[in-house]
Structure 1
Amino acid sequence: MLIVDAIFIGLLEASPLILAAMGFTLIFYLNGFMNIAYAESITFGAYFAILFNVVLGAHFYVALLPSMLLSGAMSVAVYLAIFRPALNRGVGPTEMIILSVGVSFLLRYGLILIVGPENLFLNEPSIVYMQVLGLGATNLQLVALALVFAMAGILYWMVYYTGLGEQMRGLANNRELAMASGINPHVTSMAIWFIAGCAGGMSGVFSGVFAQVTPYMGWNVILITMLVTIVAGVGSVRGAFVAAVVAGILTAFITLVTKPLYADVVLLLAFIGVLTYRGARTA
């Protein structure tokens, strides 16, 4: 059935986008600006996996954890070195977006300077083709889907059911009141940027293993990540999850019935339609 095929393929293809959208949303909600440099968390996650998996020879699944953690550490380092000083000086959201674009270029072309512009490939684990509900998939795709949904579930639990999530929501809603209540904004912010970086890193690893690793891979998906975040609503991790899944299924369905190029166009029009409808309702 076409619908079932689209849902299944869409879930497989949307799994990296789900993590990217949720991580992007965390920073957007906490600090109130769209961090375009988040694209490089995705890219660097894939290149850290190249380091461990290809250069050092670690198994792909073994390389996942250190790649994810290093992406989180890099995210914190960028926050401490560049974004926190700017936020402390009262730089506005528009200027922060412009700054993040500059940071993105700096990181991307710094990476190219070090490793070169060539496309690279991860060493995949042994591939086994399987049947799930009559639909074909590889063991790698199913493991990726399971891991991504597990991490998405952990992120959701962290935001809505833990003290750290409560602190993040408090800082986002009223920073002065949160600080008066004893919340340390620096520790909480570093924790959120680390978690968001880890999510982006894992997204990059799975995007890379399903295709190829390039210095532009994060930049190529940051637009749809931003659109998913906007459609989901500011700071809605739950909404980002749902919007990413819907985007993946819609793209898969259109690709199955027409050309892939049309899928991108229809997806963009769908996002514009949702935003227009939402704006008309609130007007």
Structure 2
Amino acid sequence: MNTSALDTPVLPAPVAAKRRSLKPGWFLVSPSVALLMLWMIVPLGMTVYFSLIRYNLLYPGENQFVGLENFQYFVTDAGFMPGASNTLLLVGSVLLISVVLGVLISALLEAGEFWGRGIVRVMLISPFFIMPTVSALLWKNLIFHPVSGILAAVWKFFGAQPVDWLAQHPLFSIILIVSWQWLPFAILILMTAMQSLDQEQKEAARLDGAGPVAIFWHLTLPHLARPIAVVVMIETIFLLSVFAEIFTTTGGGPGYESTNLAYLIYNQALLQFDVGMASAGGLIAVVIANIAAIVLIRMIGKNLTEQK
């Protein structure tokens, strides 16, 4: 009989917890955590400092403490309300397009086998790996160009006058460009989730007389609730800071029609040289992004709890 297990003393719960807390794991992790905190806190601290002073790059010697004056000027600036509304419209439109088309395209790809499905998958996912600046240039010069673009050629073929999309419909053009880039991400996540759907449930539903629409509505969509929530959360975080597409195509114009908060902050800092107001705008954008992230995380947590 092996008595080693019987001879091992059983420690009380507080002593065992204390011994576990003395493990060297946190010693090994602490340098990385300290470096990460330093990497985050130093820029944040400098941003807070610059937001409380009047600091213009044209007059670097005139650094005067102004308190919350920069915040007041930023939220009352002529571009703040258009920038905030354009940001919400851009994020909401891209999310809607990504989720709806992502679900439909993923469902079509998983509906059955067909020749070249692997090539179609690669082509659908490939735009996600193109840099934002490159994709914006492709759309600007090859698709939206009013003289030599593809859409201009289509308009001329039907005898219509070509449209200068970036000048007449700037925000809609930005939404199309960003949606084209982020739709593959949604397809990738949702298509992977569909492959994990229990096929026996679908087969049982077919035997009970359920059609493709009923199977999609009652089996596929509930199964995609968690992946859709993940897509919405990740895309929202990145879409709040869209900048390269706007800078490359419309420059925020005409006027403020395609300006979002990220481009407005850039405009204040590097075009008007007002670092103090730009820092205040950056902090406001950080607060908005954190509020959105907290709301989305709670929504996802609630969704996960209901799915259990």
Using the size of structure 2 for normalisation, the TM-score is 0.26
Higher relative contact order (CA 8 A, sep 6+): 1
Greater share of residues in helix: 1
Using the size of structure 1 for normalisation, the TM-score is 0.28
Indicate the structure (1 or 2) with the bigger Cα radius of gyration.
Answer: 2
